[in-house]
Structure 1
Amino acid sequence: MIYYINKTYTLGGMTLLNDSRPLETYWLNTFVVLAESDSLRDAALKLNVTQPAISQHLKQLESRFQAQLIIRRTRPLRLTAPGKVLYQHAVSLLAELRRIDDLVRDAEDQGLIQCRLGLITSISEVAGSQIIANLKDKSERITIRSGLTNELKDAFLQRDIDILISNDSMPEISDIERVKIFRDPMLVAYPKVWENTFDGSLQNLAATMPLIRYGRNTSVGVFSDVTLRRINLSVKFKYETDDTHSLLIFVEAGHGWGLLSFLCVAQCMHRMHNIKLMSLDSERHARNIYLIYRKNEMRTIPLRIADILKQHFFDNVFPQLKQHAPWIDQSAFIVDTA
């Protein structure tokens, strides 16, 4: 952003001449960072620019205000009296510009007539309410459709859904934007009543007790099969369901053990007092949760939703999961954005 100053006035002892040269806001940002740093090198590292670039911005400001702003020979750097005045006003100005930017973006989102969301069931149950609460003033009508991955994917492709949150990144589809929200590691659940007899061996568990599995029509069921192949585990199963609540009811009752994800556990936190959890290698056995939307559609709403989900998960959901799975670290859920 550029400010043009075309008259002479005084600011804290600094005289601005009648001059049409622009005052760039990134000069001010550089100056604020420099004022809060020990050296030019320190400021350059913070801004990811070269030291000559920092020096050039400072030179431009001192030329504009016809005043020395920083005493360069000291460490840490010291502001001159005019520099202190500029720092105070620059901080306020940059904060106001950020506030204006947020207001303009908010105004841009106000005009949406409808926002149609497709959420896999686990996301809908864990975070659907938080999404609605944060979007209620951004759209005249909000529709949430929850269900299995494949049916939601079909609805998105038929344009019945504007924004899809799923574990399927849809790599075969062009002209869509994909945002990785967080990872969802897999783990094992078994009845608490087995605690005294279970030796902690997954191989022994699989050999003696049936797996209560998700159906292959569910994405978590498909990923469970992938996980079993990766760990080379042969299992026997007697019960199959496409519903997490049913699966954990069966586990709680002692009918078998389950292979599921942390997000599935978050759906049924109230049942965890009678269920024990066992870790798998979270580096290898985890799916990614994506937010998907069409390019150049829905304005800033998709990224806003992604931020809502991340904040809710790490601030509210993760601490509850940690109570039942104390070994898990927050880093296991953080995505690689590369």
Structure 2
Amino acid sequence: MQLTNPARKSRSKGSDHLELRAIDVFSVVAETGSMTAAALKFSMTQPAVSQILKHLETDVGAPLLDRELRPMRLTPAGEVLFARAQRLLRDAEQLYRELHQVSEAKLQRLRIGLVDSFTSTAGPQLIKALQQDVEQLLVWSGIAPDLRNELVRRDLDLIISPDPIHDVDNIHSRRILKESFVIIVPDSFSQREGSPSLAHLASTLPLVRYSHRSLIGMQIRKHLGRLRIDPPRHLEFDTSDSVVAMVGEGIGWAIVTPLCLLQAPAALSRVKVLPITCAPLSRSLYIAYRNGEFNGMPERIADICERIFDGMLSKLQQVEPWLPQHFQAE
């Protein structure tokens, strides 16, 4: 820890900061009159103690010890520093204890953002589990680009979304889920043996799209573009329950993920779920947060999410026996 003197102007010698560790070593030497005693207390050699004191004197810009006397005596500058050092060290120790207690105690507030497909599926169980760790829990739901902006602006402390935010300094992300995209068609859709190609579906039924402003919508559009498939843009929605409901009403087909399917349980009986066998596509969900903040909370949330996702496997198997293979918690 460094203590900076903002009033110090340029000098021919001396530094603009003091090391708390060096002050602690100096205090022991001042109390005992012995560098050997300080070396024993801090588990270092006597030359190392002497070097620390010399650096401290350089930082202060004045000698602190009169080494010509036996035992050593404090100089006027040393007396001033020693008089202040005891209180400074006590305050620093108290500050450390308080900060440690804060890091171990229940968080006073956590502002968390959840992408829509997560909010209505895994969200309730996550929030219930976090209530024992957080005094005030504020939850926002939305699309990935909005959540990203709110995290960067510090309007949110942590988000769960498909965006890893690798391009922003001091924001770390951890993947918690990888899932493959699947096709959904109206239950009345007649198909030949096997799963239809994306090109065939695009030429047969209208594509019910995710909004172009959502990350999942952009990902699907880019994938279809790489395959040179460009269905007309007639219908676009921000949320998965709307997309699945439209397909259930026979309006068209869509590309979704297993988690998105679970967001619309009422419409599942009216759709067929098919794998994408040619040119498969997948997405991941990440916890994104700032480095060094909310110590241990991202790991705690990741553990909770893993248990929640494992519990979803039986629900996905009821939709289609092969569907859990396309849903992997990490």
In 2, Cα distance between the equivalents of 1:209 and 1:331? 25
Matched with 2:36 is none
Q: Distance in 1 between matches of 2:191 and 2:101?
A: 56
- Counterpart in 1 of 2:22? none
1:10-21 pair list within 5 angstroms: none
CA contact (8 A) 1:188 1:277 kept: yes
- Root mean square deviation of aligned Cα: 2.4
Q: Does 1:191 find its partner at 2:186?
A: yes
CA contact (8 A) 2:116 2:239 kept: no
Where does residue 130 of structure 2 map in the other structure?
A: 135
1:111 is matched with 106
Alpha-carbon offset, residue 330 of structure 1? 3.6
User: Is contact 2:210–2:216 with CA below 8 Å preserved after alignment?
Assistant: yes
Read off the aligned partner of 1:271 and give its amino acid letter.
Answer: A
* Equivalent position of 1:227 in the other structure: 223
**1:297 counterpart = 2:293:** yes
Aligned: 1:269 with 2:265: yes
- Show the 5 A alignment for 1:200-279: 200-202=195-197, 203-279=199-275
Post-superposition Cα deviations, 1:10-34, rounded to whole Å, max 9, x if no partner, equal xxxxxxxxxxxxxxxxxxxxxxxxx
Q: Structure 1: give runs of 5+ residues left out of the alignment.
A: 1-104
**Paired letter, 1:189:** I
Q: Give the aligned partner of residue 155 of structure 1.
A: 150
Q: CA deviation at 1:195?
A: 3.7
Give the SS at the match of 2:251: coil
Residues 274-283 or 294-303, more deviating: 274-283
**Alpha-carbon offset, residue 137 of structure 1:** 1.6
Please tell me whether the aligned partners of residues 313 and 324 of structure 2 are also in contact (alpha carbons under 8 angstroms). Answer: no
Say if 1:195 and 1:110 are closer, same or farther in 2 by CA, change over 3 A: farther
Say whether the 8 Å CA contact 1:156–1:162 is kept in structure 2.
yes
CA contact (8 A) 2:195 2:275 kept: no
Match of 1:84 in 2: none
With over 3 angstroms needed to count, the CA separation of the structure-2 counterparts of 1:206 and 1:284, relative to structure 1, is closer
Question: Structure 1 CA distance, aligned partners of 2:209 and 2:306?
Answer: 28
Check whether the contact 1:109–1:300 (CA below 8 A) recurs between aligned residues.
Answer: no
1:245 aligned partner, one-letter code: D
Question: TM-score under structure 1 normalisation?
Answer: 0.63
* 1:207–1:236 Cα contact (<8 Å) kept: no
SS at match of 1:249: helix
Q: Would you say the 8 A contact 2:206–2:231 is kept in 1?
A: yes
With normalisation by structure 2, the TM-score equals 0.64
**Which is greater in Rg?**
2
The aligned counterpart of 2:172 is 177
- Which residue in the other structure is 2:15 paired with? none
Greater Cα offset, 145-154 or 282-291 = 282-291
**What's the CA shift for 1:323?**
1.8
**Percent identity for Structure 1 against Structure 2:** 27
Aligned to 2:317: 322
Question: Is contact 1:109-1:301 (8 Å) kept?
Answer: no
Mark the CA change 1:197 to 1:106 in structure 2 (over 3 Å): closer, same or farther: farther
Cα deviations across residues 153-172 of structure 1 (Å, max 9, x unaligned)?
Answer: 11101111111111111111
Match status 1:120 vs 2:107:
no
Corresponding letter in the other structure for 2:308: H
Q: Contact (CA 8 Å) 1:119, 1:145: kept in 2 or not?
A: yes
Shift of residue 127, structure 1, vs aligned partner: 1.3
